[in-house]
Chain A
Amino acid sequence: MQLFPCPFCGPREESEFHYGGEAGNLRPDGRDVTAERWAGYLHMRDNPKGPTREIWVHLTCGEFFAMSRDSVNHKVSGSSVLGEAEHGA
Chain B
Amino acid sequence: MSASRLTTGGSDIDRARPLSFTFDGRRVEGFAGDTIASALLASGQAVVGRSFKYHRPRGVWGSGVEDPNALVDVESAVGRVPNARATTVQAVEGIKVRSVNASPTAETDRNAVLDRFARFLPAAFYYKTFMWPDWHLFEPRIRAMAGLGIVDSDWKPRQVSDQVNHHCDVLVVGAGPAGLAAAASAAAAGHSVVLVDDRTHPGGSLRHRAGEVDGLDGKAWVETVVARLKSGGQLVLSDTTAFGLYDHNLVALNQRHSDGRPDTLWRVRPRRIVLATGAIERPVPFANNDLPGILSADAALSYLRRHGVLVGREIVVATNNDSAYEPASALAAAGASVTVVDCRREGGAQAGTGVRVLAGRMVAVARGRNAVQGVLLDDGTTLAADCVLVSGGWTPTVHLFSQAKGKLAWNDQLAAFIPGEAIEGIGVAGAVAGAVSLSEALASGVAAVDAFGSSSPAPRGSGAEATLGVVSLWPKPKAKGRVWIDYQSDVTAKDVELAARENFVSVEHLKRYTTLGMATDQGKTSNLNGLALLADITGRGIPEVGTTTYRPPFTPVPFASLVGSRRGSMHNPVRRLPLEANHRAAGGVFQEYGGWLRPAYYGGGEAHASIQEEARRARQSVALFDGSTLGKIEVIGPRAAEFVDFIYYNTMSTLKPGHCRYGFMLSENGVVFDDGVLVRLDEHRFIVSCSSSHVAAVHARLEEWRQDRFGRDAVYIHNATAQYATLTVSGPNARQVVEALDLGATLDDASLPHMGVAVGRFAGNEVRIARVSFTGDRSYEISIRADRAEVLWARMQQEGRAFDAVLLGLESLMILRAEKGYIVIGKDTDGTTMPHDLGVAGPRTKRASEFVGRRSLFTEAGNSTDRNQLVGLAVREGEAPLATGAYGVEKREGRPKSIGFVTSSYQSPTLGRPVALALIERGAARHGETIDIQHLGVVRQATIVAPCAFDPEGRRLHA
Contacts and interface: CB of A to CB of B under 8 A. Distances in A.
B700 A57 contact: yes
Contact of B669 (A33, A42, A62): A42
Main secondary structure of the interface of B (DSSP, over half): helix
B703 A1 contact: no
A2 B248 contact: yes
Contacts of A63: 707
Q: How large is the interface on A (under 10, 10 to 19, 20 to 34, 35 or more residues)?
A: 20 to 34
A35 interface: yes
A28 B850 CA distance: 10
B852 to A, nearest CB: 9
B850 A87 contact: no
B766 interface: no
A51 B267 CA distance: 27
A31 interface: yes
A73 interface: yes
Interface string A1-43: 1110000000000000010100000011111010100100010
Interface in A53-75: 57, 59, 62-64, 73-74
B700 A29 contact: no
A89 B708 contact: yes
B704 A64 contact: yes
A87 B704 contact: no
Contact of A62 (B250, B703, B850, B854): B703
Given A42-B668, A73-B405, A89-B709, A31 B858 contact: yes
Contact of A87 (B708, B855, B858): B708
Nearest to B699: A62
B908 to A, nearest CB: 41
Contacts of B704: 20, 57, 64
B402 interface: no
B707 A3 contact: no
A31 B854 contact: yes
B707 A1 contact: no
Interface string B664-675: 000011000000
The listed residue with most A CB atoms (<10 A of its CB), out of B267, B405, B708, B709, is: B708
Nearest to B670: A42
Interface in B702-751: 703-704, 707-709
A77 B132 CA distance: 57
Contact of B709 (A3, A20, A87): A87
Contacts of B858: 31
Contacts of A86: 708
A88 B856 CA distance: 18
B138 interface: no
Contacts, number: 51
B247 interface: yes
Given A31-B854, A31-B855, A42-B668, A1 B709 contact: no
B244 to A, nearest CB: 10
Interface string B521-559: 000000000000000000000000000000000000000
Given A1-B246, A38-B856, A29 B850 contact: yes
B850 A30 contact: yes
Nearest to A43: B669
A8 to B, nearest CB: 12
Interface in B664-703: 668-669, 700, 703
Contacts of B246: 1
Given A1-B250, A3-B248, A18 B709 contact: no
B859 interface: yes
Contacts of B856: 38, 42
B407 to A, nearest CB: 13
A19 B778 CA distance: 43
A70 B854 CA distance: 34
B404 to A, nearest CB: 10
A33 B858 CA distance: 10
Nearest to B854: A31
Nearest to B860: A35
A27 B856 CA distance: 13
A27 B495 CA distance: 59
A18 to B, nearest CB: 7
A38 B670 CA distance: 12
B492 to A, nearest CB: 38
Contact of A57 (B250, B267, B703, B850): B703
A50 B859 CA distance: 34
Contacts of A31: 854-855, 858
A62 B715 CA distance: 14
A88 B709 contact: yes
Contact of B247 (A18, A59, A62, A74): A74
B167 to A, nearest CB: 11
A59 B697 CA distance: 11
A1 B850 contact: no
A48 to B, nearest CB: 18
Contacts of B700: 18, 57, 59
Nearest to B250: A1
Given A33-B855, A74-B248, A88 B669 contact: no
Interface string B928-954: 000000000000000000000000000
A83 B859 CA distance: 31
B168 to A, nearest CB: 15
Contacts of A3: 248, 269
A73 B855 CA distance: 37
Interface string B257-270: 00000000001010
A73 B269 CA distance: 18
B143 to A, nearest CB: 36
B855 A64 contact: no
Nearest to A59: B700
B142 to A, nearest CB: 39
Contact of A38 (B405, B703, B855): B855
Nearest to A73: B405
A89 B852 CA distance: 14
A81 to B, nearest CB: 10
Contacts of A88: 708-709
A18 B703 CA distance: 13
Contacts of B703: 57, 62, 64
Contacts of B247: 1-2, 74
Nearest to A29: B850
Nearest to B859: A35
Contacts of A1: 246-248, 250, 267, 269
Nearest to B844: A31
B749 to A, nearest CB: 40
A42 B708 CA distance: 15
Interface in B640-683: 668-669
B206 to A, nearest CB: 34
The 3 tightest CB contacts between A and B, nearest first, are A89-B709, A1-B250, A38-B855
Given A1-B250, A2-B247, 13 more contacts: A1-B248, A3-B269, A20-B704, A28-B855, A31-B858, A33-B855, A35-B859, A62-B703, A63-B707, A64-B703, A74-B248, A82-B708, A87-B708
Interface of A: 1-3, 18, 20, 27-31, 33, 35, 38, 42, 57, 59, 62-64, 73-74, 82, 86-89
Interface of B: 246-248, 250, 267, 269, 405, 668-669, 700, 703-704, 707-709, 850, 854-856, 858-860
24 contacts: A1-B246, A1-B248, A1-B269, A3-B269, A18-B700, A20-B704, A29-B850, A30-B850, A35-B859, A35-B860, A38-B855, A38-B856, A42-B668, A42-B856, A57-B704, A59-B700, A62-B703, A63-B707, A64-B703, A82-B707, A87-B708, A88-B708, A89-B708, A89-B709
